Amino acid sequence: MRNAYPVIPSSNHGFARPENDYLAAKYKDMRLSDKTAIITGGAKGIGKATAIRFVEEGAKIAIWDIDEKAGEEVVKELKAMDAKAHFYKVNTADITNVVSAAEQVYTDFGSIDILVNNAGITRDASLKKMSPQQWQQVIDVNLTGVFHCTKAVYPFMTANGFGRILNAASVVAHHGNFGQTNYVAAKAGVIGMTKVWAREFGRKGITVNAVAPGFIKTEMVETVPAKVMEQLMERTPVGRIGRVEDIANAYLFLASAEAAFITGTVLNVDGGLVL
């Protein structure tokens, strides 16, 4: 098994050419150096923030999203940071699309080390008003999409003897939320799959964890009335709504060597909302 976190050798020891000294110095202390990460839903919000944070720590990034324009813009930003990055138009609810994209990422990058199952949608309505279509749309992306992506990358990770799978859950999976039968069911299912896969994948060198955000300032929560947001902040011990960077930092930790002995856990990043 190759070293999961290889140290780039210095030319002082005869392993690197002098012209590589700059890159060696740049990446030697980075937590995700030489790692390839797929980030679903990476064109905006938490996904974009995670891509930027991972690049700051030396990762190569594959952005998967259905928003081609926004995805390409993110890739431009990442390349401006001297990162290797590609955009792939991927509908995570389509297994054929997902498998094909995973194969292409492996061809383009040579490895798949990290998967961030971040893609998600909402179609909120009370049970009385929720249509079967609204139910299925959320389940297809938020639950089945996580299954598709994990199943597609698993063979590449096992062949490499290393992997980090990070799943987007939610604090509402713990306590429910009015008008979100579909969303809560999907996120509770993600937590369950996280624990199952942690048991199944551990001896393959793969850890599987979930991050459960509280209320984070993204497009998904912009429709929440201001009064409701004020009430939420009052209920949150740290006294503020979360930022996308808060979640990105949690993903970074769980993807890093520091979290090598952590698997099957759900990390609440909610400012204490569910205490």
Give catalytic residues, as residue numbers: 183
Cα 74 from Cα 52, distance rounded (Å): 9
Is the alpha carbon torsion for 211, 120, 113, 18 positive or negative? negative
Helix axes 145-160, 95-109, angle to 10 degrees: 30
Please name every residue paired with 211 in a beta bridge, in sequence order, or none if there are none. 168, 267
Cβ(192)–Cβ(141) under 8 Å?
no
Q: What is the DSSP string of 15-63?
A: SS-GGGHHHHHHHTT-TTTT-EEEEETTTSHHHHHHHHHHHHTT-EEEE
How far apart (Å, rounded) are the C-alpha atoms in residues 272 and 96?
Answer: 40
Cα–Cα dist 12/156, whole Å: 34
Length of the chain: 275
DSSP bridge pairs for 209: 166
